[in-house]
Amino acid sequence: MPKPPKSSSTLTPEQKKIITRRNFLSFATLGFGALGGVLGWNWVRKQPSVDGTVAPLRTMLETNGFLNETVLYSNAHLAPEYPRSAAAAEPRTNGDVGLDEDIDAGDWKLTITDTKSGKPLELVLADIMALPKTEIVFDFKCVEGWNEIQHWGGVRLSEVFRKYDLPTDFRYVGMATPDKAYYVGLDMASALHPQTLLAYESNGQEISFEQGYPLRLIVPVKYGIKNIKRIGSIILTNERPPDYWAEQGYDYHAGL
Amino acid sequence: MKETRIVEKHPLAVRWFHWINFPVLMVMIWSGLLIYWANDIYEIKLDSTTLIKFFPKAFYDALDLRARLADGMAYHFTFAWFFAINGLLYVLYLVMSGEWRFIVPKKSSLGEAWKVLLNDLFIKKYTHEKAKFNGAQRLAYTSILIMGFGSLLTGLAIYKPIQLSWLTNALGGYGAARLEHFCLTLGFCAFFLVHLLQVIRAGWNNFRAMVSGFELEEVADNPPEASEELTPIIDDNTPTQPTTL
């Protein structure tokens, strides 16, 4: 086995000079690099917060979202679908923001506002249910990290756009619960994705209050946080609509 | 009389990749834990007895990992860029420079790695061949590279499971990819512990090589070639250091 020298006594003065110089340069570089890293880290953490995330990281989340929308995303990319037998008997529930008030489907209506014409469209549940029904069994994914195969039935949002001749040239679609306590924003492409549904059925049954009766959003290309329950209003806009979880530090895009 | 040679060991590029990767990987693991906390379902069970729970309450408390999912995602998806770019540049460098030859295992590496292991556990003494990296090191450094690539792929598979559904499917699905991503991270932690121990054991001369690039080496009494070069470029036949992993 090769032996390291036991002492520096065998080094020539020339070698000692080289060693000292190289060690000085290298360790100084490492030290300054480490210092720079620590200072940079502290700087990042002290930056003003933009919706619960420090500005530099928020910029990165936005950049990632932009790259996803421009490079990866396609409405031809579908969430894998499964046989109905694979679906959970009771879809898991997680959030209940916006579901506090009692609701009666007779009183409920959906208001769709186009911010250019400003003319609101009001639909009752029967209007929605009159449109062709689409069912999907897909792997629902929560931002927390769990996933569950679920079976939903409803109307394609794109079908509502088609039927009521709604403009698709807006950048965003915003949705809110009737009490405005929960709200989400979607990019238009995701809203028009063929698997994006306004759902009124779960496992072939009317959806429960906890699941957002009478109408909720199922948008498989997004995390669960975008799948708003009990939709009261939809707005078509070029200004980014507010988003409940994006205001609390989460990525606005939340795309899968 | 004995002479000492200054022998080049780690190229400058490798040292940069190494020292950039270290803190970046730490941030990735830390932010990954912030994310994992939100759905911490993994445990090792024997029948119905939980042997290891990932992770116990005290662990989250000690590292302040609770209720910081948004924070974790923001850091993770930012530093993933540094991790990926640094790693890809490293691989590119290994290929272009030919340095990969020191790292990729040879036929004899597995057998040698076993001998190195026995030696390091003080079971049976083994003096490895004169080479930059021994068999155990070759296996370890190649494995860690593959693991890094695996973390990138499994990470992408759970980050964009629909846009990259081909990848998610190839890795066994969303849940499987998440578990693989987690296991790879445990692997990095295990590597880090062993690596740290081995670096401490190998000593200053070896550690300095990862900072300054060179090692000092005592040459046998007046070997004919010793006086020819001050800093010979190392090759596979140049004697170096004790086992380092």
3-class DSSP assignment, residue A53: strand
Does A20 reach chain B within 8 Å, measured CB to CB? no
Side chain identity at B117, as an amino acid letter?
L
Query: Is pLDDT above 60 for B242?
Result: no
Residues of chain A in contact with residue B205, where contact means CB-CB under 8 angstroms, are: 4
Q: What does the pLDDT look like over A199-251, one tens digit per residue?
A: 999 999 999 999 999 999 999 999 999 999 999 999 999 999 999 999 999 99
**ipTM reported for the complex, 2 dp:** 0.93
Side chain identity at B65, as an amino acid letter?
L
Quote the minimal CA–CA distance from A237 to chain B in Å.
25
A9: which residues sit within 8 A by CB, 6+ positions away?
A: none
Q: Check: CB of residue A207 under 8 Å from CB of residue A165.
A: no
Q: Compute CA A175 distance to the chain's CA centroid, rounded to the nearest angstrom.
A: 14
Phi-psi region of A164 (alpha: psi -120 to 50; beta: other; left: phi over 0): alpha
Q: What is the pLDDT of residue A6?
A: 61
Quote the minimal CA–CA distance from A37 to chain B in Å.
9
Alpha-carbon gap, residue A140 to A148, rounded angstroms = 5
Residues of chain A in contact with residue B39, where contact means CB-CB under 8 angstroms, are: 142, 144-146
Percent pLDDT > 70 in chain B is 88
Mean pLDDT computed over every residue of chain A: 94
Residues of chain A in contact with residue B33, where contact means CB-CB under 8 angstroms, are: none
Query: Is pLDDT above 70 for A94?
Result: yes
Side chain identity at A150, as an amino acid letter?
Q
**Beta strand spans in chain A (E):** 49-50, 53-54, 110-114, 120-123, 134-141, 147-156, 172-176, 183-187, 197-202, 205-206, 216-218, 233-237
A214: preceding bond cis by omega (within 30 degrees)? yes
The minimal CB distance from B6 to the residues A19, A30, A80 is found for: A19
Q: Nearest Cα to B210, choosing from B218, B201, B199, B220?
A: B199
Side chain identity at B186, as an amino acid letter?
L
**Which comes out higher in pLDDT, residue B138 or B164?**
B164
The minimal CB distance from B175 to the residues A15, A142, A147 is found for: A147
B59: preceding bond cis by omega (within 30 degrees)? no
Alpha-carbon gap, residue B117 to A109, rounded angstroms = 71
Alpha-carbon gap, residue B75 to B15, rounded angstroms = 25
Alpha-carbon gap, residue B104 to B89, rounded angstroms = 17
Query: Is pLDDT above 90 for B37?
Result: yes
Specify the CATH number for B3-219; select among 3.20.20.70, 3.30.200.20, 1.20.950.20, 3.40.50.300.
Answer: 1.20.950.20
Structure tokens at B103: 């790292």
Q: What is the pLDDT of residue B240?
A: 45
Rg (CA), chain B: 21
Alpha-carbon gap, residue A152 to A140, rounded angstroms = 10
Pairing assessment for the beta strands A110-114 and A233-237 based on DSSP bridges: parallel
Quote the minimal CA–CA distance from B98 to chain A in Å.
24
Query: Is pLDDT above 50 for B233?
Result: no
Phi-psi region of B34 (alpha: psi -120 to 50; beta: other; left: phi over 0): alpha
Alpha-carbon gap, residue A166 to A131, rounded angstroms = 15
Structure tokens at B152: 């990138």
